[in-house]
Structure 1
Amino acid sequence: MAYQSDLGTDPLIIDDSNAGRFVEQWRDEGRAFGMTPRDYRVAPFGSASRPAVDLSMGPILERSQFADAIKRADEARTTPDDWRKAMEVPIQNQGSWGYCWAFGSVTAMTVTYAMTGHVAPNLNPFPVAYRIKGGRNQGGWAEQAYKGKADFGVPAHDVWPGNKEGMSQWQSPEVIASANRHKVTASLELPQNNFAALVTSLTHPKFARPVTMGLNWWGHLVCAVRAVALPGGGFGILIVNSWGPSWGQNGCGVLVESKSIAFEQIRIERCTPILAA
């Protein structure tokens, strides 16, 4: 019998048969989306890679290797999702703001911090998107968020709580200091629409990392934390959303392979080491 990942009780699985209905339902509920198509003339492919080299992921897996790689990662409990749960990374909530492109990206950053084995900082994505968009409630793409996280960093919720408006908060010494302590120092842009690259990043035995996924069919960006083997021999991706813990299964869901094809997918390699303040 083919290996199947343990997905817990009553997981939300999104596939071709229900995706359209779910998107309509979520729009009717007033959920905020916010991912816009990336302008590759302004932000060419690879511009989110810092430095612009393949740092640690190695060769992309062949499809015939998926099942074994997923089983090995599940049994070793080395996936980004295992670290996310062990270090109790909070589920973000973008509220009515179209800032999924920043919220999903900062979730990936927080999970990367968790994978160091230390308590992950409770980072706030809102100030990053708010600054990038000049206070406007406007969509974007992950590369914009990664640039902001590398250039000016991400403050924690304790110095900028929730989705609190006010650009002057960026002048606060506490906000500046917190943001400077939390930056992305290395990231890797994975090939577009390449499911194998996504599985490789999430199952690597030594260098597994979370990946942001920009999904055209959803108009939304989420954070991928685990590759899974589904009943019937198929594969999927466990995602962390930014619609609060009440969405899906504790803020998470599973996308089958056909719904995991991301036009933009960026893996975080390293963040600024956390030092004593």
Structure 2
Amino acid sequence: MALSSCSRLLFVASFMLFSFFVVTSSDPAHDFSIVGYSPDDLTCINKLINLFESWIDKHGKKYKGLEEKLRRFQIFKDNLKHIDERNKVISNYWLGLNEFADMTHDEFKKTYLGLKTDQLPKRNQSPEEFKYRDFENLPNSVDWRKKGAVTRVKNQGSCGSCWAFSTVAAVEGINQIVTGNLTELSEQELIDCDTAYNNGCNGGLMDYAFAYIASNGLHKEEDYPYLMEEGTCEQNRDESESVTISGYHDVPANDEESLLKALANQPLSVGIEASGRDFQFYSGGVFDGHCGTELDHGVAAVGYGSSKGLNYIIVKNSWGPKWGEKGYIRMKRNTGKPAGMCGVNKMPSFPTKTN
């Protein structure tokens, strides 16, 4: 009996390196929703291996040996199944293969989150003290990227320093709004030097980091570059110029209208719960998936708008430009829940700066 082209390729491959990949014959056929691949491609074992190899090349992955590569392939296959199954049932956003596709969800959470809310500072809950309380004529949409107040998407890598990236994004924004200069600032300085309450790669909070910058200023990124690990504090590095802020304000918690008022005036630091599996593979659209409100990730809100009847907040992440919509996620607003999507309304804050 003649073999199909897929079977012939698999037969030949059995004598080669990839014969060691374990894929059970009891796996059901899946209509995988991966751009550029047909259902037949992704039910053929050899094609799955080819997809894995092309993904490895695209993302420059390196593994210590065959055993590790086999383990990562199995994780990759399981993640591929999750992406396919979710894309069949969700409609307003979609998932895709990204550089995290060889990580288990537990590995991902341990590596890329880092907001610590167990020792929250006392927050300003008084509406009377909220700086933008009386702001009127809220625009229909705001995008601080288009206004020149947002720097490139950065990548925290394998350091739980999201809190520093969230802080810096908000400070870069207000600095540009006040001075007209868009200047990349140093997350590494916060990781190394802001240690009274924050814990470097083991997490922290944006309000504490704002307080540090108000007291000490913050160096430029080029003068104090990111290491993806904790280093030695060099607060006076090269005596180079620092950017300063006057202080910070908290937006009243669980109040989306107040969040939008503040966001219409400047980028904000916000906390979200990003531990859901769909977050790992978010690729585009308005995210309205399942998530709670236990904040575990610091990000920056840089605008809001509407698309096809869905209102959203534009969020800048720190997982690099290959994640999501070139490093951003649009998160649904007007959910009817005070805490908002994934708790985005729970803990917004922003730096202040005078001329």
Cα distance in 2 for partners of 1:116, 1:228 equals 24
1:60-112 alpha-carbon deviations (Å, 9 max, x no partner): 77xxxxxx8342x45xxxx42322xx366222221111111111110111122
Measured in 2, the distance between the counterparts of 1:212 and 1:25 equals 28
Tell me the equivalent position of 1:11. none
- Structure 2 unaligned blocks of 5 or more: 1-89, 276-295, 334-339
* Structure 1 partner of 2:172: 110
Paired letter, 1:210 = P
Partner residue, 2:138: 69
In the alignment, the residues of structure 2 paired with residue 26 and residue 80 of structure 1 have an alpha-carbon distance, to the nearest angstrom, of 32
Per the alignment, residue 189 of structure 2 pairs with 127
Distance 1:193 1:119 in 2: 32
RMSD: 3.4
User: Could you say which residue in structure 2 is the equivalent of 1:37?
Assistant: 117
Aligned to 1:3: none
Say whether residues 1:59 and 2:134 are aligned partners.
yes
Which amino acid in 1 is paired with 2:114?
A: G
The verdict on how the C-alpha distance between 1:39 and 1:29 changes in structure 2, with shifts beyond 3 A counting, is closer
Give, as a single letter, the amino acid of the residue that structure 2 aligns with 1:96.
S
- For the residue of structure 2 that corresponds to 1:151, the secondary structure is helix
In the alignment, which residue of structure 2 is the partner of 1:211?
268
Change (3 A) 1:26 1:256: farther
Alignment of 1:255-274 (within 5 A): 255-257=331-333, 258-259=340-341, 261-262=343-344, 263-270=346-353
Structure 2: how far apart are the matches of 1:158 and 1:122? 8
CA contact (8 A) 1:194 1:261 kept: no
Provide closer, same or farther for how the CA distance between residues 193 and 16 of structure 1 changes in structure 2, counting only shifts above 3 A. farther
Structure with larger Rg: 2
Is it true that 1:46 corresponds to 2:147 in the alignment? no
Aligned mates of 1:88, 1:212 — CA distance in 2:
13
* Alignment partner, residue 255 of structure 2: 194
Give the match's secondary structure for 1:82.
Answer: coil
**CA displacement, residues 228-272 of structure 1 (integer Å, 9 cap, x when unaligned):** 12323x42200111112222122111011241533211022326x
The alignment-based identity, stated in percent, is 19
Task: Say whether 1:170 aligns with 2:235.
Answer: yes
Query: Could you tell me whether the CA contact under 8 Å between 1:15 and 1:256 is conserved in 2?
Result: no
Q: Give the 4+ runs in structure 1 shifted more than 4 A.
A: 14-19, 22-31
> Which residue in 2 is equivalent to 1:92?
154
Matches within 5 A, 1:19-30: 28=107
Contact 1:35 1:220 in 2 (8 A): yes
* Match in the other structure for 1:242: 318
- Relative to structure 1, the CA distance from residue 191 to residue 58 in structure 2 (aligned partners, 3 Å threshold; closer, same or farther) is closer
Q: CA deviation at 1:226?
A: 0.7
Q: Shift in Å at residue 25 of structure 1?
A: 6.9
Aligned position for 2:292:
none
The structural deviation recorded for 1:130 is: 2.4
Tell me by how many angstroms 1:223 deviates. 0.4
Check whether the contact 1:225–1:238 (CA below 8 A) recurs between aligned residues: yes
Mapped to 1, the partners of 2:312 and 2:318 lie a distance apart of 19
Whether 2:301 is the aligned partner of 1:224: answer yes
Mapped partners of 1:217, 1:121: distance in 2: 28
Question: Shift of the alpha carbon at 1:33?
Answer: 1.0
* Whole-angstrom CA distance in 2 between matches of 1:215 and 1:167: 29
The alignment status of 1:161 with 2:225, answered yes or no, reads yes
Distance 1:17 1:227 in 2: 16
| Partner amino acid, structure 2, of 1:248 | G
* Contact 2:160-2:200 at 8 Å conserved across structures: no
Gaps of 5+ in 1: 1-13, 62-67
1:251 equivalent to 2:327? Answer yes
Q: Distance in 1 between matches of 2:150 and 2:252?
A: 30
Partner Cα separation in structure 2 for residue 60 and residue 168 of structure 1: 40
Residue number in structure 2 paired with 1:151? 215
TM-score by length of 1: 0.69
